[in-house]
Structure 1
């Protein structure tokens, strides 16, 4: 039995060949600890880590020393949000603004702070799945500490107007955090705004391994956001993230960032062409697109088919394509997508939503078999 075609790249991506090669070199040959100062193994590992910082920083127009390595975007989000809490309390800045369509790795830390004395304003998206910059600006108060808005929604693929939101925040001193797990290296311009203070990224969404990510802390007038570590015990990563640096994973993430910048145009073109073929195959079924098609990444398609339940459809198609109907982080206990419901979709339409997500390495699925599986459900 052959494997189905993998169409769940928003959940995790395959390793790019160049990334795998770089990672294995630091597992097998250059296995030194970057913190070892007394021998060449440690020196070479430290050079690789610093080189990775440089490649990651280039993607978002930051400085290499602004890159703090973590285990992934979830940890980066937690450091960004909880790390500002002490400063906020000290300064009387106890208001946070976020959105209804954020990943749970942002919503739950904000909720935790809401239970601990902060006030959290959660802004709704429009029916096309993106948050209006004016709505964010209207939620700001004098006591606002932090605004957190994702770059690309993981369920719909809709690109959020983070550069325009950054412009709308120019008059206020609040910190602006962007969860860029889904868009880093794929959508370049938005993250380059100098008004964005904090950016979270994850390796396994950009063809690097699981278990590595980064928090990028851009300087504003020469000063970094006043983060306090949420984990201590060694002082690595500017005192913000203690623990031995996983040089093989970091070198792999650095290579992934380098290649993402180098091959951005070709990758985007391949994904656009794949999307056109997917839409052509699905056209006979009068699909309902969930999310503004003009603002959606070329590698994501979220749609509903009237009268078809997505769980049943995934079972019907499991031998042909491997797909999802939402975030992998909440799939253990299936519930209707909080993102689609926040957009104002009916429960029936949300229950029928299916997400296809692919990349430049995705082989062509058997679209005729996909169509046949859908017909059986009608």
Structure 2
């Protein structure tokens, strides 16, 4: 019996229609978009531009406000570390973020702390939300940046980034949003006047290794980012390196498919969630994160009296699941996200994340998962 894949928050299978397009641009149209002297290069350049036009439009942004990167981690680093010199030059070294961010934000911010920046890591309430008021209360004249994730990768809780963007747009403080989990799924939020948005392709059926950073102008003014890598400056002089044309085209194709099918995808995701929760009826458990403000395809639970690592082992032939971020899966310490929410240590140490793409759950056997939980509860 195949193992059901329930770790889509870590990565998704490449959508077959995307894989077909990627393969074409790897084997047939293999030109370098930087080659201007022949048709192979010019066709590649036009394909990249079409992808840039399409993706920027989803943010109500201009094409020259979007650069391609290897994924949200690189985008986060460019946004956070690239703004550091401006902060130093203007004596604005204060940053507001949250304690539930992905390590791809927390660790660059810790690096900035080592360079003399003052970073406030706000704790959420026990629902996992950061309130706009909590952010606004921390602003100072020297606040350079607010960096908040769109959708939490462990709990699926949606942060009010669009509302915060409206407040910050009239201040000198920039807003960066890590939208790795929310990109394409909650597109309306990301049309708000957010200064910088990081996205990854492999959460929506695109290949791993491709993402983007939106850098939205304020009027005529560009965000004063400096490059953190050097060697060509192909992407607006902020990101050097030969563009991976097949991956760029694949990202655009994945977004196009997701946009066309988003409503049925959401309905399918909700159906899977309902099936899982129905199977857990009668099993003592705690849902981590407020379901009323969470995406439908991520569910984080702690089962009373169950050691999650033992449960994952018990489920290895039934379902592929995780305790949280793939970037920290080697660590068995309590989740920093659940701990920051103020949950008891036993709850925070035993959170199980189930996340899915509806089309990849046809073989889902909720009763087997529930039986595994019951067997460990004794």
- Short-chain TM bin: over 0.9
1:183 pairs with 2:191: no
Deviations 1:262-294 (A, max 9, x none): 221111111111111111111121321100101
Deviations 1:38-62 (A, max 9, x none): 1111111111111111221122211
1:83 — aligned with what? Answer: 82
- The answer to whether the 8 Å contact 1:325/1:353 transfers is yes
1:203 pairs with 2:201: yes
SS at structure 1 position matched to 2:176: strand
- The answer to whether the 8 Å contact 1:101/1:153 transfers is yes
219, 225, 228: which one pairs with 1:227?
Answer: 225
Can you give the 5+ residue segments of structure 1 that lack an aligned partner in the other structure? none
SS at structure 2 position matched to 1:148: strand
1:238 pairs with 2:236: yes
State the 4+ residue runs in structure 1 displaced beyond 4 angstroms: none
The structural deviation recorded for 1:347 is 0.8
CA distance in 2, matches of 1:306, 1:168: 41
1:336 pairs with 2:334: yes
SS at structure 1 position matched to 2:281: helix
1:275 — aligned with what? Answer: 273
2:311 — aligned with what? Answer: 313
CA distance in 2, matches of 1:182, 1:67: 18
The structural deviation recorded for 1:360 is 2.7
Q: How does 1:1-378 map to 2 (within 5 A)?
A: 2-194=1-193, 196-364=194-362, 365-378=364-377
> How does the TM-score come out when normalised to structure 2?
0.98
The structural deviation recorded for 1:341 is 0.3
The structural deviation recorded for 1:300 is 0.7
The structural deviation recorded for 1:239 is 0.3
SS at structure 2 position matched to 1:199: strand
> How does the TM-score come out when normalised to structure 1?
0.98
Q: Between Structure 1 and Structure 2, how many residues are aligned?
A: 376
SS at structure 2 position matched to 1:134: helix
CA distance in 2, matches of 1:370, 1:277: 11
CA distance in 1, matches of 2:245, 2:198: 19
- The answer to whether the 8 Å contact 1:94/1:143 transfers is yes
- The answer to whether the 8 Å contact 2:100/2:336 transfers is yes
The structural deviation recorded for 1:352 is 1.9
Deviations 1:202-241 (A, max 9, x none): 1111110111111111111122211000001112011000
SS at structure 2 position matched to 1:214: strand
CA distance in 2, matches of 1:242, 1:317: 43
Can you give the 5+ residue segments of structure 2 that lack an aligned partner in the other structure? none
SS at structure 2 position matched to 1:374: helix
The structural deviation recorded for 1:171 is 3.7
- The answer to whether the 8 Å contact 1:209/1:253 transfers is yes
CA distance in 1, matches of 2:35, 2:177: 33
- The answer to whether the 8 Å contact 1:134/1:168 transfers is no
CA distance in 1, matches of 2:187, 2:12: 18
CA distance in 1, matches of 2:200, 2:96: 23
- The answer to whether the 8 Å contact 1:100/1:123 transfers is yes
Deviations 1:239-262 (A, max 9, x none): 000110000011101111222222
SS at structure 1 position matched to 2:370: helix
The structural deviation recorded for 1:147 is 0.5
CA RMSD of aligned residues (A): 1.0
